[in-house]
Chains A and B, each alone.
Chain A
Amino acid sequence: MIRLERFSFTYPGEDQPALSDLSFEVPAGQFYGLVGPNGAGKSTLCYALAGMIPHYFKGTLSGSLTVAEIDIAQSSLGELAGTIGLVFQNPFNQISGSRFSVRGEVALGLENLGVPRDQITDQVDETLEQSGLADLGERSPFALSGGQQQRLAIASILVMQPAVLILDEPTSQLDPVGTSEVYALLHQLVGQHETTVLIAEHKLERLAEFTDNVLVLNQGRLLANGPPKTVLTDPLIEEIGVQPTRYTQAARQARARGLILKKDEFPLTLQDAQEFFDDAAV
């Protein structure tokens, strides 16, 4: 569904490419995580996948990037809208500002696509229901909490039934309650939809819950691409500046101090860690 071949991108006036020689594929319907330290190029990659690069942010491209069989560089943002959705960090900045109700806000994308009114009504209702916003339909988008606003931002994209959904650290500005709300919604997506999802996230415990695969980016390059349990417990992660879970850290330290001898696989989640330390205790 997403395919990059030797894709590079350099912002105007910069010597170093922001994305360098990236090649990877995301099969349809898969849920991919994206991690890397600050400045690794995660946001740039998200923008490129959504076509904001090169159509909003200019720069020099090489290689190829196709999403849903569309060559991004040859397309336009208007054509991509509805096929590729983008959600980013600040929920407030994603509210159009031109709608006075949550319902109207969700409908905006479909209106821009010229979808007939009956169909808009159906799709909006369904999406509101799915994203847990049905009771807030007549509220002002500005009267919502951060978590609700971010769910609204996601709903406003989902309603267009995109083939691909790109999320750039969607919970980084939310409190734990808001974060849980957003993840509950994403969880639902995994089961119900054939949407292909790529999410940049630094809360590794969350990624562990439901990603099929994780990409690791550092200085614009792809360092690793594999299942979360392998990739996110790799010492490499910590070396490049990604905070591992405390479970992984505790286990690795236990091993380093010789408290635990046999284990080579380090835990990523609470459940893994419990098993890890319980086994070692016997």
Chain B
Amino acid sequence: MSTPTLYLPRDSRLHHLHPLTKLALIGLAIVAGATLPVTLWVIAVYLLILMPLAAWGKVLPAFLRSSLLLIWPFALSLTLIQGFFAPGEHILLQLGPLSLKLEGIQLAADYTARILVWLSAVILLMLITRPDQLMLALTERGLPRQIGYIILTALQIIPRFQQRAETILDSQRARGLETEGNLVKRLRALVPLVAPLILSSILELDERAIALEARGFTRAGPRTSLTTLKDTAPQSAFRWLSLIVMLLLILARAAGWMTA
């Protein structure tokens, strides 16, 4: 069974960066995507920063595939909604009472570009960072261990949850449960499907908690770690610099220093 992480192990310099440094890079791209005033500049973040980074990390094909696969539903729906319903003067196409306007298309392009940068920045982070290392870095910096644990576990348990839901569905259908048909039929089918999922998951959680207890999960006292994260002074400096740039971008945007 696979885990729902995108992480691709590659021997690249980017992979070997400290997880917080990668997080800073991605944070920078996200803030830039939100604050840059010109659509073209936002697209440039994708083309000239994120794509080269992905290539450097030897994950470019997966990066392009995932980011383009995820963006098209946004692109399509934004174009339709903004194109037809945003106010504007330049009518490109008239369909009965509806008119497709240039201003709307431009707006849709702008939103799409920003969403593309956000989504693909997160995808890139996931492609090049092992989730447990990222969590380790965050807990070292003060994130409560329990929260890190919950996030990581959720990542790995979700596919199992899906699998169990499928088994439950199979087992009820085998007992003649009709899952197709009108709404009433389908609603009635919900209880036999959801109840065992919840009940069996509670049983499982109890066991998992016991297994963790037996391995000292709630023990008081200092902890150590098998993996150490390599950090360097330049990386630390870069993270501070990124933080300043992010703050400057936000400030500039808020104060109206940057305009299209």
Contact = CB atoms under 8 A, between A and B. Distances in A.
Given A96-B212, A111-B226, 13 more contacts: A52-B210, A55-B213, A56-B209, A77-B218, A90-B207, A92-B160, A100-B5, A104-B226, A114-B223, A117-B224, A142-B2, A156-B215, A157-B215
Contacts of A86: 210-211, 214
Of B2, B215, B218, chain A has the most CB atoms within 10 Å of the CB of B215
B224 A100 contact: no
A84 B159 CA distance: 32
B130 interface: yes
22 contacts: A52-B213, A77-B216, A81-B213, A81-B214, A81-B217, A88-B207, A96-B149, A96-B153, A98-B132, A99-B132, A104-B226, A111-B225, A112-B216, A113-B219, A120-B226, A140-B2, A140-B3, A142-B1, A142-B156, A143-B1, A157-B214, A160-B216
Interface in A138-170: 140, 142-143, 153, 156-157, 160
Nearest to A79: B219
A81 B215 contact: yes
Classify the secondary structure of A's interface with B.
helix
A103 B210 contact: no
Interface of A: 47, 50, 52, 55-56, 77-79, 81-82, 84-86, 88, 90, 92-100, 103-104, 107-117, 120-121, 124, 140, 142-143, 153, 156-157, 160
Contacts of B226: 103-104, 107, 110-111, 117, 120-121, 124
B152 A98 contact: yes
Contact of A77 (B131, B160, B213, B224): B213
Contacts, number: 126
B113 to A, nearest CB: 33
A47 B132 CA distance: 30
A140 B2 CA distance: 8
A87 to B, nearest CB: 8
A108 B211 CA distance: 12
Contacts of A143: 1-2
Report the 3 A-B pairs with minimum CB-CB distance, sorted nearest first.
Answer: A81-B216, A78-B219, A112-B216
B3 A104 contact: no
B248 interface: no
Interface in B1-32: 1-3, 5, 7
Interface string B36-63: 0000000000000000000000000000
B132 A104 contact: yes
A281 to B, nearest CB: 49
A52 B212 CA distance: 11
Contact of B224 (A95, A114, A157): A114
